[in-house]
Structure 1
Amino acid sequence: MDIRLAEAIALHYYQAAQRDGWTALVQAVADALVDLDAAERHAAAQGRLVSHGYARAPLNG
């Protein structure tokens, strides 16, 4: 990730939290955990599709 993008995201959280660094950090981590959970659920759903034979390509290439 580009450091400038990370800084822009951090600044957004900081400003949204009325310049309260702790609140901004907690909100950023909470949002990241929600995104991680969604990604894990998506990956699990994809795994179930593969295990049910919906993937037609061979696994080794």
Structure 2
Amino acid sequence: MSCPVEAIAAAYLTQTSGDLALALRCAITDALADLLEAERRTRERSRLISRGFVRGQMEDTGDRP
């Protein structure tokens, strides 16, 4: 195993008892699930940042030049 890709491929093949088609479907399913989770986290962070920005604007007392 010279690189992570080979290790991941071997793990999926082992998990699926050597079934190449099933291993590919499992890898794609896992990759899509990870992508969707990353997108969800990004949206959540963006929402929290936006909410913090709005709260910061509302708390501005106008004392600054």
Per the shorter chain, which TM-score range? 0.7 to 0.9
Corresponding residue pairs, total: 53
Q: Report the Cα offset of residue 53 of structure 1.
A: 2.0
**Structure 2 counterpart of 1:59:** none
TM-score by length of 2: 0.75
Larger radius of gyration: 2
Given the alignment of the two structures, is residue 42 of structure 1 paired with residue 41 of structure 2, yes or no? Answer: yes
Instruction: Tell me the distance in 2 between the aligned counterparts of 1:49 and 1:19.
Output: 44
Matches within 5 A, 1:13-32: 13-32=12-31
Q: Which amino acid aligns with 1:20?
A: D
TM-score, with length taken from structure 1 = 0.79
SS in 1 for 2:3: helix
State percent identity of aligned pairs: 40
Unaligned runs of 5+ in 1: 57-61
Q: Greater share of helix residues, 1 or 2?
A: 2
Unpaired runs of 5+ in structure 2? 57-65
Root mean square deviation, CA, Å: 1.6
Could you tell me which amino acid in structure 2 is paired with residue 34 of structure 1? A
Which amino acid in 1 is paired with 2:46?
A: G
